[in-house]
Amino acid sequence: MTNKDLHQMLLKRLMPALLILSILAGVVVYYLELEKIDTFVQDLAIGESRGVLADYGMHWEDPQNIDLGSYIRKDRDHGGKGAFIVIELYDKEKKLVAEAIRQGSEQIEVEMNKYRHESLMKNDVNYRKLYVGRQLYIMIMVPLKIDGSITGGFFEGVYEVDPMVMKDIRDRIIWSIWQVISVIFITAVVLYPIIIALNRELVKRSEELYRANLGMLEILGNAIAKRDSDTNTHNYRVTIYAIRLAEALGLRRIEMKGLIKGAFLHDLGKIAISDNILLKPAELTPEEIEVMRSHVQHGVDIIRDYRWLGDALDIVSYHHEKFDGRGFLQGMHGEEIPLQARIFSVCDVFDALTSRRPYKEPFSYERSFEIIRQLRGTHFDPRIVDVFSSIAEKLYAEISKADEDLLKRMLKQLIDNYFEARIPEPDSSSTVSRAG
CATH number (domain holding residue 58): 3.30.450.20
Considering the domain architecture, whether residues 164 and 218 belong to the same structural domain is answered as no
Per the domain annotation, does 134 fall within a domain?
yes
Taking CB atoms within 8 Å and a gap of at least 24, the contacts of 22-31 are 22/177, 22/180, 22/181, 22/184, 25/176, 25/177, 25/179, 25/180, 26/173, 26/174, 26/176, 26/177, 28/176, 29/172, 29/173, 29/176, 29/177, 30/169, 30/173
Considering the domain architecture, whether residues 164 and 222 belong to the same structural domain is answered as no
CATH number (domain holding residue 353): 1.10.3210.10
Considering the domain architecture, whether residues 243 and 363 belong to the same structural domain is answered as yes
Per the domain annotation, does 406 fall within a domain?
yes
pLDDT in the model for residue 262: 94
Per the domain annotation, does 153 fall within a domain?
yes
Distance CA 52, CA 50 (A): 5
Count up the domains in the chain and report the number. 2
Longest distance between any two alpha carbons in the chain, whole Å = 123
**pLDDT digits over 160-170, tens only?**
877 787 787 77
pTM over 0.75: no
- By residue range, what is the domain housing residue 128? 3-169
Per the domain annotation, does 130 fall within a domain?
yes
Q: What stretch of H or E contains 242?
A: helix 233-249
Considering the domain architecture, whether residues 403 and 260 belong to the same structural domain is answered as yes
Neighbours of 218 (CB within 10 A): 23
pLDDT in the model for residue 24: 80
Distance CA 186, CA 374 (A): 71
The CA-CA-CA angle for residues 376, 300, 434, to 5°, reads: 45
Per the domain annotation, does 21 fall within a domain?
yes
Instruction: Indicate the average pLDDT of the chain.
Output: 80
Considering the domain architecture, whether residues 103 and 214 belong to the same structural domain is answered as no
Considering the domain architecture, whether residues 56 and 148 belong to the same structural domain is answered as yes
Cβ atoms 266, 344 nearer than 8 A: yes
pLDDT in the model for residue 426: 37
DSSP 3-state assignment of 148? coil
pLDDT in the model for residue 433: 34
Per the domain annotation, does 436 fall within a domain?
no
Distance CA 255, CA 246 (A): 9
DSSP 3-state assignment of 146? strand
Per the domain annotation, does 176 fall within a domain?
no
Considering the domain architecture, whether residues 228 and 328 belong to the same structural domain is answered as yes
Considering the domain architecture, whether residues 212 and 161 belong to the same structural domain is answered as no
Which residues, given as ranges, of the chain have pLDDT below 70?
1-6, 41-42, 44-67, 70-82, 115-118, 146-152, 226, 228-231, 420-436
Per the domain annotation, does 229 fall within a domain?
yes
Considering the domain architecture, whether residues 165 and 210 belong to the same structural domain is answered as no
Considering the domain architecture, whether residues 122 and 251 belong to the same structural domain is answered as no
Instruction: Please choose, from the candidates 147, 88, 148, 96, the residue with its C-alpha nearest in 3D space to the C-alpha of residue 124.
Output: 148
The CA-CA-CA angle for residues 424, 430, 432, to 5°, reads: 155
Considering the domain architecture, whether residues 290 and 241 belong to the same structural domain is answered as yes
Instruction: Please choose, from the candidates 262, 408, 416, the residue with its C-alpha nearest in 3D space to the C-alpha of residue 345.
Output: 262
pLDDT in the model for residue 435: 39
Considering the domain architecture, whether residues 64 and 113 belong to the same structural domain is answered as yes
